[in-house]
Amino acid sequence: MAFRIVKDVKDINRLREILTVLFEEGFDFILEKTKLKHKIPLTKRVKARIEKKKKHTIEKRLRLTLERLGPTFIKFGQLLSVRPDLIPKSYIKELEMLQDKVPAFSYSLVREQIKKELGKEIEDIFSGFDKKPIASASISQVHKAVLKDGSKVAVKVQRPHVKEIMETDIDIMFYVARLLEKHMPNIRKFSPVGVVEEFSKWTEKELDFKREAFNAKRFARNFANSKTVKIPMIYDNFTTERILVMEFIEGVELHNIKQIRKEKIDLMPLINIGFEAILTQVFVHGFFHADPHPGNIIIIKDRKIAFVDFGIVGHFDENLKNKSIDLFYGVIGNEPGKVVDTLVELSRAEIENKYELQDDVGEILDSLQSSDISRIKVSYALEEVMDLALSYGLKMPAPFVLFGKTIITLEGIALEYNPDFSLIESSRPFIEKLMRQRYNPVAVFNSFMKNMLKFRKFADEFPDQASNALKRIERGSIKVNIEDTNIKELSMEIDRSGNRVAYSMLIAALLIVGALTINYGSPALLNLPPIPLFSFIVALILSFVLLFSILREKEIIR
């Protein structure tokens, strides 16, 4: 057993330290289940029993435990705080209080790190460099500086040896997560190992400042023509994996309501700009700022906002875009069925008690309908629905959850500043524009063509797949149970269904062609040019043929 632990965990002393903190904060039941209690020194166990601590809720004890365990675990708690699909809402609220503020490391270490990474002394690169950092966190700290050409910059310096420290802690997290899955079956559905794996990837991205620089430059390209959003410029010549130099942004952080009021800044137009910028990132660019911390959004002069800190980003593909819009409209339109269908599709999971979930979602949505639509608090609806999805074992894609958390955070700030703020009214123009684009003829045609390509790929691959399947059946490696022996009738039904699909696709294509060419040519009949007129007439005839065949088949069945 001792050899096994040494094999799985490199730093046994750090493991004992973590287990001792868990024991002292009242999580000894976990240690008993995972058979790790005996790894805590007897003196520590006795001392913890003698010392009587104040009674706290389990949520608060978890937060205190993570704070005591240090930077890696604080980061882990912050990841969990933006994942309502992984932990209940009560834990989310407590973990949101985690502060990633640690004492700054010395200026001599900063000099050492810069010399090591850039190969030059600070004085050879900067004409001015503030020794005291403007921000200090678990992974890095930021100093204000001035380059030789007079440019004001922010210099992000990674803590010495932080990568090695976090790798050790994550190694221990994996070890404990595997034991949790082995000895606590009821926790297995939350996939502790998978959560640690996600955190490991998250941390790996944050530790690579070159990746952050790449993300920042991509954001800058996406907002190159924006008159309301500013992205700081990256200085590639002074950026490495552990050093990042970017343009210094003067302004007020979005969450600093006190300073905003002191400077008499009209926040509401800027909140609207922030919402539109987030929605644009998600639904237009498909690439968005995934660290929903209001300290990463800065108000600058000339009614602009700036985004900073691009270590963690999210990606939204077309499917996520469409599902998010469906969920949004399902909540607003009081359609629990649509909400549940969207949640199930997003989670890609089977659910037995779907109608029970639908009833529970319906209760949440009904409570919203008593208010005017402009008064609906989207953050409440999203939090409740996500908490409900968790209780039914539905796990949402991480980008979707991060996007939802960003919206919730921004709405909370806006409501703090203006209790009458309505996220729905604020985002309505953008969403309506998005819906018009989603259903315009060009977008429909593009979607149609994508599906045609998928169908063609399926048709190309089907013969080989069918041949392979038949060979496996012949070898006896596949068992097939067929209850309906009327294969001929089944074959005819497949043919009929295929013909209907073909008719439907042809009708859709004719309608799209007609819509796209409606402004081309001189009007011939019904104020329509010849090509769209012909397309619409043929589509109408085919629609009647299709309808007649469906009705005729129903009569035959009767």
Enumerate the active-site residues.
291
Chain center to CA of 425: 24
CB atoms within 10 A of CB 121: 11
Pairwise CA distance, residues 86 & 84, whole Å? 5
Contact 322, 410 (CB under 8 A): no
**Pairing between strand 229-230 and 252-253?**
unpaired
Buried b (16+ CB within 10 A) or exposed e, 141-164: bbbbbebeeeeebbbbbbbbebbe
Bridge partners for 146 per DSSP? 128, 152
Q: What is the CA radius of gyration of the chain?
A: 29
Looking at residue 234, what DSSP letter applies?
B
Pairwise CA distance, residues 405 & 293, whole Å? 9
Q: 333, 336, 272: which is closest to 304 by C-alpha?
A: 272
Burial class (CB in 10 A: 0-12, 13-18, 19+), 125: buried
Q: Where are the beta strands (DSSP E) in 435-525?
A: none
Q: Where are the beta strands (DSSP E) in 76-198?
A: 126-129, 135-136, 140-147, 152-158
3-state class percentages of the chain: helix first, strand second, coil last, to nearest 5:
65, 10, 25
**Pairing between strand 135-136 and 140-147?**
antiparallel
Residue 372 token pair: 């005017």
Pairwise CA distance, residues 410 & 420, whole Å? 14
Q: How many helices (H) and strands (E) does the chain have?
A: 23, 11
Pairwise CA distance, residues 292 & 269, whole Å? 20
What is the 3-class SS of 29-84, one letter each residue? HHHHHCCCHHHCCHHHHHHHHHCCCCCCCHHHHHHHHHHHHCHHHHHHHHHHHCCC
Bridge partners for 263 per DSSP? none
